[in-house]
Amino acid sequence: MQYQADLRDIRFVLFDLLNLQQLLGAPPYEDLDRETVEQMLVEAEKFAREQLAPLNPIGDRVGCTFHDGQVTLPPGFREAYQAYCELGFLAAVAPPAEGGMGLPQAVSLALDELFVSANCAFSNYPSLSRACANMLRQWGTAAQQARYLPGLVSGRWQGTMCLTEAGAGSFVGACRCLARPRPDGQWTLTGQKVFITSANLDVVDNVVHFVLARTPDAPVGIKGISLFLVPHRLLDEAGEPAADNDVQIVGIEEKLGIHGSVTTTLSFGDEERCVGELVGTLHEGIRAMFQIMNEERVQVGLQGQAVGSAAYQGALQYARERVQGVPLSSKSRDPQDQVPILEHPDVRRMLLTMKVRVEGCRALLLKAGLHHDLARQTSDDAVRAYHEGWADLLTPVCKAYCSDLGFEVTVLAMQVFGGSGYVRETGVEQALRDSRIATIYEGTNGIQAQDLLFRKATLGRGRLMATLDQELQTFLGTVQGSAPLAAEAELLDEARQDAGRALAHLLELLGQGQVDVVGLHATAFLRLVGNLLLAWLLLQEAQVAAGLLDGLGLPADPAAREQRLRDDPAANHLAAKLPLARFAVRTLLPENAGIVRGILVGDRSALDVVL
């Protein structure tokens, strides 16, 4: 697969659908304008295409190696990482006062799609450092920020988040890593963490671990966990890495995919001399760590979407070039009459399914980023609460729904490639393997579904879901009864009402104390909400595109119009939005009817069966 980025659609979503311009030119984005953002996208695409994409198969084949406590990244990763940092991409969202660009999160996510689709494994390193820096900026002391932010923002140091333990897994409250107070106000840490990305790399001078641990007098469960900053190497008086801090890499994992991204087991304090600093308030570490986790959850959803986008682009190009079979409507069996597989209906079905999911998830992810930015920009408490509510609602959906759909896209891409997709030469099998982890890490998708249903959907008596429902109705009022989206609007309205009935039924069961029964439907409910959001956003895109198309003066004659669209990629991109939305609503959204039926039936066989 040749790397191809869809810059045209990224620009369309940012500026035409989401109206990013509303942010630019005003604090804290007063130094940014559309031209600057577009130039950043161009430079990011060039870097991704020229430097990251060629390393993607190398990272997969060679992987990371571990020797004498040191992790070595695949060939070329070190140079690419240094170039990435020098171009300012790692510091993209950092404030200008720290040497950053101060970009909105929506723009950062758009840039990241370009990097992740070119090389998913590479992108884990800067993503984690950025999230750690963002957390420290909010929760760290002034002294901690002064000592550690410059290294994290510049890329000289790597950041990690250390939550998972072998005996606890996703149940963070079972954490056994211990932090004991020292006379100097610092803490001595002991314990192990597993599945830790990015530790003691050969591309950085130091690693800053953010570790969840329990103090000796801590309450049981998640409320007794604190967060500690633990440098891999202690800093000297000049603030430079110096003495070993008794943090050891026990080993690295052999994984299904993302071989260029190292996953380690870390041991803290084997010699009882590992020193850490408390971050934030004692016994409230999970609140600070959740800032990293929520940022990374959106990022992981982006991984699914971005790898899926690369797989779709590869499958589309292959379908255009691969000649096989004659048209279904043809009676000929002459090999001379064979056509590209792009002309076969089932291949077109698969390609349009992929396109719907890739472009719909792109809009969903960038919308989540925009709400974060609008919340940050406003001084109005009510407006801030509105946008923060949207960001809270969308975070588990972005993570789980986009990672699920991203993997499904890679499966369809392999099907388009056929037998050629199952072998390594084409690269689509790597995309499938690389995308699989996104449904698992940063909280498995089942956990995201529980977060959506048991927390976000019930918060404030369903306030967030009521906001979604109200805005759906407002949008539908603009398109119902008018061509060309009237029929699709009616179908979306039916799906909206069905979702409301399903939620009301689940809330009723919760009120009866049937928590386990409700839990059976959490994953289905998240899919229901994701499908609804996707259809809504794609209909919005079609509405916007129709308005833009009106200004292009396309020929009325069907043949002339088709030729114009073939000759004008920008016009064709807009024209494709209407059939894309129709396909999403007419072909894919009906999945919701089956989901709702299953929820209302309330089958509890999974609870009753003896396994």
Q: Which are the catalytic amino acids?
A: 442
In 3D, which of 147, 146, 163, 157 has the Cα closest to residue 204?
Answer: 157
Query: Residues with Cβ < 8 Å from 167, sequence gap 6 or more?
Result: 174, 176
Tokens of 101: 């660009």
| Eight-class DSSP state of 239 | S
Instruction: Encode 559-568: b = buried (16+ Cβ within 10 Å), e = exposed.
Output: eeeeebbeee
In 3D, which of 542, 533, 527 has the Cα closest to residue 581?
Answer: 542
The sign one gets for the Cα dihedral 58, 64, 67, 71 is positive
Tokens of 437: 């982890």
Q: Cα(first)–Cα(last) distance of the chain, in Å?
A: 43
Tokens of 308: 């899926």
Q: Are strands 157-162 and 206-214 parallel, antiparallel or unpaired?
A: parallel
Residue identified by tokens 């909206």 is 496
351 touches 312 (CB < 8 A): yes
Residue identified by tokens 């940063």 is 442
Contacts made by residues 377-380, CB under 8 angstroms, sequence distance 24+ = 377/23, 377/26, 377/27, 377/28, 377/29
The number of angstroms, rounded, from the C-alpha of 477 to the middle of its chain's C-alpha atoms is 31
CA-to-CA distance for 273 and 246, rounded, in angstroms? Answer: 6
118 touches 48 (CB < 8 A): yes
Tokens of 451: 């977060």
CA-to-CA distance for 283 and 219, rounded, in angstroms? Answer: 8
Tokens of 469: 């429902």
3-state secondary structure of 345: helix
39 touches 45 (CB < 8 A): no
CA-to-CA distance for 400 and 445, rounded, in angstroms? Answer: 5
The sign one gets for the Cα dihedral 6, 12, 14, 18 is negative
96 touches 28 (CB < 8 A): no
